Structure 1
Amino acid sequence: MTKGELIDAIASGVDGLTKTKAEQALNVMLSAITDAVARGETLSLNGFGTFSKGERGERTARNPRTGEEIKVEAAKTVKFKAGQKFKDAVNH
């Protein structure tokens, strides 16, 4: 599903909601999630899942073409843990 298809689904699921307003609502929601996680907050959507900020340590990897060892810097990452309702929907 693309973002456009998701906007269409939101607009068709709410009486009187235009695609433009559905897109605005989706953009605000995504921005709020991004901002919260970037600040280090954990964001939980009951039944859907939890977004949080994670850390990945520095490590050594290999270039598959040359076999040369390369250093991969530590980085911050995003974690998502699916909620039980989401897991159940996927498994049925």
Structure 2
Amino acid sequence: MSSRQELIEKFAKKANVPKRNAGVYLGIFLEVIQLILARSGELKLPGFGAFKARQIPEREGTNPLTKKKVTFAPGVRVSFKPGRPFKEGMLGGSFVAKAEKAAAGKAGKRKK
């Protein structure tokens, strides 16, 4: 399992920036994702995937150890659906090249 620190190290190396800067950039990126999801409930990143937030209502449950009824507070559940170029990149090849190709294809379709 990869960690946040490993992600920062790989980003710093790939972008040729200091690890400290890479950590700041990652933090900003994650904060922006949270802000967008809080406002609109959805974020689509073509070629990468889509995040979707949905409200979970308060619900009743049972503690399996004590068998007592408990109430779970309402919350937010966030899901992520990877885009096709991202999934194909997992199977081999460059995700960046595939994402750029997908974006160029969509841009070309819009002009027609």
- TM-score normalized with structure 2 length: 0.66
Structure 1 position 43, deviation (Å)? 1.3
1:37 to 1:64, Cα distance in 2 relative to 1, 3 A: same
Task: Report if the CA contact (8 A) 1:60-1:71 is conserved.
Answer: yes
Q: Deviations over 1:33-69 (max 9, x none)?
A: 1111122342112222211220112322111012222
The residue that corresponds to 1:6 in the other structure is 7
Q: What is the root-mean-square deviation of aligned Cα atoms in Å?
A: 2.1
Gaps of 5+ in 1: none
Matched residue count: 91
Asked if the contact 1:40–1:52 (Cα under 8 Å) also holds between the matched residues in 2, the reply is: no
Shift of 1:77: 2.4
- Which runs of 5 or more structure 2 residues have no equivalent in the other structure? 93-112
How many Å separate the matches in 1 of 2:59 and 2:41?
A: 26
Question: How does the TM-score come out when normalised to structure 1?
Answer: 0.77
* Distance (Å, rounded) in 1 between the aligned partners of 2:91 and 2:69: 40
Structure holding more helix per residue: 2
Is 1:42 paired with 2:39? no
Give the distance between the partners of 2:59 and 2:86, measured in 1 at CA: 33
Query: Compared with structure 1, are the counterparts of its residues 88 and 62 closer, same or farther at alpha carbon in structure 2 (3 Å cutoff)?
Result: farther
User: Which deviates the most, 80-89 or 29-38?
Assistant: 80-89
Higher strand share: 1
